[in-house]
Structures are given as structure tokens and as C-alpha cells.
Structure 1
Amino acid sequence: MIKRKYGAYLVDMLLVLVGNAIMAWGIDAFIVGHHIITGGVSGIGLIVQNFAPIPVSVTVLVINVAALIVGLFFLGKQFIIGTLVSTFAYPFFIAIFDKLPQYTHLTNDPMLCTIFAGVSMGIGLGIVFRLGYSTGGMDIPPIIINKKTGIELGTLINIIDIATLIGQMPFSSPSGILYGLINVILTTQIIDRMMLLGKSNVQLIIISKKYEEIAHMISEKLDRGFTFLNITTGYLRDNTKAIMVVVSKRQYISLNEAVTQIDPYAFTIVSDVHSVRGRGFTLPDEYL
């Protein structure tokens, strides 16, 4: 168990590095030098660059370290440990890619830059957030304010991002501003998709007079757990039971066919569900 714990933690840290590398590449390849505005600590770095010849990577590092120190006092060591890698990895990768123009200056098309910046930043952030860690920097102040005031975290993050975007507008063209807004929206959408990637399953509620046979089939054929729901039918007012079961999308076809064979008149409600936890989905084998 201890080896498994440390092994999983090592994998997490490697994935955090990958996420930060992808995010940094998106900034260097498609944002910096193309006059497209962006949110977060990278956006602040772009603002500073308009006043002083300071590389974005340096500004990001300074803000990340300052936020890390503040977070240590308000959020505790456990949160900071998960953020520590991103605090230094992100500005490091920005500095590295900035020295490799052959890998960053891939296109001068502003729309392509906007799309690929949004996709790469969304994927990078999504990997880090999916693991339950923070990228540091401007993620930390909203978390502290949320803890002290109770204001919704999403609202605070949006306020800071909007303020950062507004701060870049005087130094950007109207088209750069519009492309930047598209980039921020696309990044948010990609993060949402990354958070749910691979976690989608199917929930079925099956109403049938042959619920005992169907339940036996689910247990024996699919090796899935299920729950009986006490229901009252609307037309006949019969008190009976429905079956609620969650299966993978791959198992859905065989389950649907098996239910139809047992009761062709079964009434089945199917819906997508996400982040299913527990036996058969997230618990390791020793808990089964």
C-alpha cells in the first residue's frame, strides 16, 4: 500500500509537469508575440512586459512564489505541496520554450493561434486540475478570499481574469482583444471536457414486472451492483420496484439487449453520469 501510494504520487507529479509544459508551450507558441490577450498570471506577465523589458517567465515566477508564500499561511502545507511543482515548473517551461523559436513560432495566423492556444492551455490546466492540484499564481487569491468570505470560487476567478483582460486591452488591437476573449472561452470549455474525460458512464432506471429476473441478470452476467427503488406507477397505481444501475458505455449495449430479451415491454430511462465513485468503478481490487 505504501509503495502504491508513493508510486501514484510520483505519477501525479509527472503528469503535473506534463500539464505545465503543455500550458507553457501554448503561451509561448501562440500568445506571446501575437498580441492576443489572456487571463491568469500569464496575462499579468504580458501587462508588465508593456512597461518594462521583463520576460513573462520572470513575472510568472515572482507572482507564483509570492502567492505560494501567502497560501502557506492561509491554506496550509497540504495544499501548498500540491501546488509547489506548478509554481516553479510553469515559469521554467515558459523560459525554455522562449529559447526555442523553431518550436514556438509555428504560424502567424491569429485565428489558428487563438484556437491552438485555447486548446493547449485548456489541456494543460485540465490535467493539473483533474489531479486535484492548483497551478499556483492567481489561483491562490480566489481560494483564500473564498475561504474567508464564502463568495463563490468561480465568481472570484472570473473577476480576476476579467480584470487581467481589461488591463491588457490598452496595449492590444481590437482584433487581439476579440481573439483573446475567444481564447479564454475556449480554454474554459477544454478544461471542463478534460475534467470529465474518461469518467462518463451510463445510468439506467428500469421499470418492469420482471424486475427480479433483470436484477439477477445484472448481478450474474454483468457483475454489477444495483439498487431497488420503491415506486408507484402512474396509471394503475401499482406499488412495485424499479432497478437503478450504473454501467460503462461499453456494457450498456449488452445490458439493453438482455433486458429486452427478459421483458420486451420494460420501460428504461437512460442518462449520462460522471464521476461515479465506489465499488466497481474507483475502489481497488482489494476492496471488492
Structure 2
Amino acid sequence: MFNDIERVIRRHSNLTKLSMAFFYAICVSIALNFFWTPGHIYSSGITGAAQLVSNLLANTPFKLTTPILYFAFNAPLFVLAYSKIGHRFTYFTFFAVLFSTIMMHLISPLKITFDPIVCAIFGGLINGLGTGMALKYNISTGGLDIIGIVIRKKTGRSMGSINIAFNLLIIFGAGFVFGWVHALYSAMGIFVNGAVIDMVYTSHQRLQVMIVTDHPKKVISSVQKSLRRGITIVHDAEGAYKHEEKTILFTIISRYEMHDFADAIRQSDPYAFVSITEVFKLMGHFYEPKVE
């Protein structure tokens, strides 16, 4: 019985991941063919590198389209993902890249030329939404997502900032090929893309939580039941107003866990004082669910 339930849940998870892979494929194809290509804007990551190389080869006998180069550049990164991140993660990443390659071919570019600023902003918004949603469901869109996840595990840097840092070469390439005005527009699009990724994909964002409570055992039990988080206990604190004895609890959660954490506090001590601040840098061990 338990195995049957587990099989149904896993099948549902697989369908959700495939749906997100296809959703990303539509997003990146719309961003590329409706906004980036007409506006001479370069994308971030492997997509931008594929655009750059495709344009450089346009006047040579070795013409290759952006979708073909996009798939070719991603192929060796599947090996990195398989060895460093997870097998199922790699399978779904492959489908995301495959779907994207197909959709880039099927969705025809718009003939209408928008203002380059509009192209940069809307291209970044749409692609960032697709990328963020894919990462949220533990699949990647290939390219810098794979490299970014590996580096994030080592350094704790956010996905958006890693994405932006790796794209400086793309910006310089845009400057040499299309001119420095379009390089500026490409940089704007890359920044918007990275910002949207960070807004959607929140599981990597760390928050420090301070809880002042009269019922530490109930709060600790409730939080650890809902979240797999260590808690530091400070005994014998005193409230200045009524001089009552309090206990202070400290823990680190991800922004993605905020809803579960709030529910845990409401159930265990709705009158607890809770302060939440963003963590600039985290040193030491922080548990992250394994990506399969």
C-alpha cells in the first residue's frame, strides 16, 4: 500500500517537473524570438553564448542556428550535473534543454521591431520567470544553472548574482558585435533576468530568525517537526517591561520555508515575539534538501 502511494506521488512529481521544463521552453523561446532577436539583445548564459556564436558564424560557411548551438553547448554540462548534482535532476534538465531547442525552432520570430529597452526588459522578465519556476521545482534549464548550483553549494552565493557574474563576457560580446548601446541593453536584460530568478527561486535565500517565547519546548518541537533546522537556545533572558523570564531561540531558515515556519509558530506560541532578518553571509553547515 505504502509503495503504491509513493509511486503515485513520484509520478505526480515527474509530471510536474516535465510541465515546468515545458513551461521554461515556452518562456525562453518567446523571450528569444519575440524580444531578444528583434531587438539585437543577448540573453544570459548559454543562450546568450549561442546567440553570440551564431551571429559570429553568420557570414561563414559554418552557419549554425542559436537552438542547435544552445543544445550543443549544454551537452557537456549534463555530465557535470549527473556527477555533482543528481541523476533525476540531470534527466529533467535534459528534457528542459530538448524542449527549449524544439520550441525555439517552432515559435517563429516576430517581424515587429520593438524598442530595444522594451526587448531587454520583457525578454529578461519572461526568461527569468521560466528559469525561476524550473529551479523552484528542482530542475535546471542547463548551462549556467548547472554551474550556478554547483558553485552555490560551495560558496552560498545566490543564483541571480552567479548568473549576472558569468554574463560579463556576453555583454562584452554584444558590444563588439552590435555596438556598445546594445551591450548596455543586454546588460539591462541580464540584470532583470537575474532579479526575477531571485524573486521566484527563493529556496537559496537565507533568513535569521530570533524568537522570544515563554514556551520554548513547544516552539522547538513545532519548528523541528515542520522544518529540518537546528536551533540555538539562550536561557534566562528577561523582558524589560514586566521583568518576566523569557527564552530566546535562534535559527536559520530559507525564504522558501517562511510559510511553514509561520504556521509552526502560530501553532506553538502565537504570542511569541519573532524577528526575521536577511543573512548577508553564512558560514558553517546549513542543511539543504538533496537534489535528485
The alignment's TM-score, normalised by the length of structure 1, stands at 0.67
2:282 matched residue in structure 1: none
Aligned to 1:172: 178
2:51 to 46, 49, 62: 46
Distance 2:175 2:92 in 1: 33
1:183 aligns with 2:189: yes
Question: Which aligned pairs between 1:101-116 and structure 2 lie closer than 5 A?
Answer: 101=109, 104-105=110-111, 108-116=114-122
Q: Distance in 2 between matches of 1:66 and 1:158?
A: 22
Match of 2:124 in 1: 118
Is residue 212–residue 246 contact of structure 2 (8 Å, CA) maintained in 1?
A: no
Partner of 1:34: 39
Structure 1 residue runs of 5 or longer lacking an equivalent are 219-223, 260-265, 275-288
Counterpart position of 1:196: 202
Q: Which has the larger radius of gyration?
A: 1
Q: Which amino acid aligns with 1:43?
A: G
Partners of 2:164 and 2:194 within 8 A in 1: no
Code of the aligned partner of 2:102: F
Mapped partners of 1:89, 1:243: distance in 2: 50
Which residue of 1 is the match for residue 285 of structure 2? Answer: none
Q: In 1, Cα distance between the equivalents of 2:185 and 2:148?
A: 25
Q: Give the deviation of 1:225 after TM superposition.
A: 6.1
**Which moves more between the two structures, 72-81 or 117-126?**
72-81
Question: Is the 8 Å Cα contact of residues 132 and 200 (structure 2) preserved in structure 1?
Answer: yes
Alignment of 1:132-147 (within 5 A): 132-140=138-146, 146=151
Separation (CA, whole Å) in 1 of partners of 2:207 and 2:263: 10
What residue in structure 2 maps to residue 95 of structure 1?
105
The equivalent of 1:21 in structure 2 is 26
With the length of structure 2 as denominator, give the TM-score of the two structures.
0.66
- Aligned partner of 1:68 in structure 2 is 78
Give the deviation of 1:16 after TM superposition.
Answer: 1.7
Structure 1 residues 41, 126: CA separation in 2 closer, same or farther (over 3 Å shift)? same
Tell me the alpha carbon deviations over residues 114-164 of structure 1, each in whole angstroms, 9 at most, x when there is no partner. Answer: 1111110110100111111121234445667x59xx677768755542223
What is the identity, as a one-letter code, of the residue corresponding to 1:20? A
User: For residues 152 and 205 of structure 1, what CA distance do their matches in structure 2 show?
Assistant: 24
* Alpha carbons of structure 1 residues 242 and 105: separation in structure 2 relative to 1, 3 Å: farther
Name the residue aligned to 1:5.
Answer: 10
- 1:8 partner SS: helix
| Unaligned ranges ≥5, structure 2 | 1-5, 225-230, 251-257, 280-292
Quote the Cα distance in structure 2 between the aligned partners of 1:202 and 1:73. 32
How far apart in 2 are the matches of 1:247 and 1:75?
27
Report the residue type matching 1:87 in the other structure.
Answer: V
Partner letter of residue 58 of structure 1?
I
Over 3 Å counting, the alpha-carbon distance change for 1:91 and 1:49 in structure 2 is same
Amino acid in the other structure paired with 2:201: M
Q: How does 1:117-266 map to 2 (within 5 A)?
A: 117-140=123-146, 146=151, 158-196=164-202, 205-206=211-212, 211=214, 230-233=235-238, 240-242=245-247, 259=271
Q: SS of the counterpart of 1:171?
A: helix
Deviations 1:183-236 (A, max 9, x none): 111111100110139x999977345xxx46x999x9xxxxx7699863422759
Hey, what's the Cα distance between the residues in 1 that align with 2:188 and 2:176? 18
Amino acid at match of 1:133: I
Q: Percent identity?
A: 17
Change (3 A) 1:251 1:83: closer
Secondary structure, aligned partner of 1:205: strand
Residues 77 and 243 (structure 1 numbering): CA distance in 2 closer, same or farther, change over 3 Å? closer
Q: CA deviation at 1:273?
A: 8.3
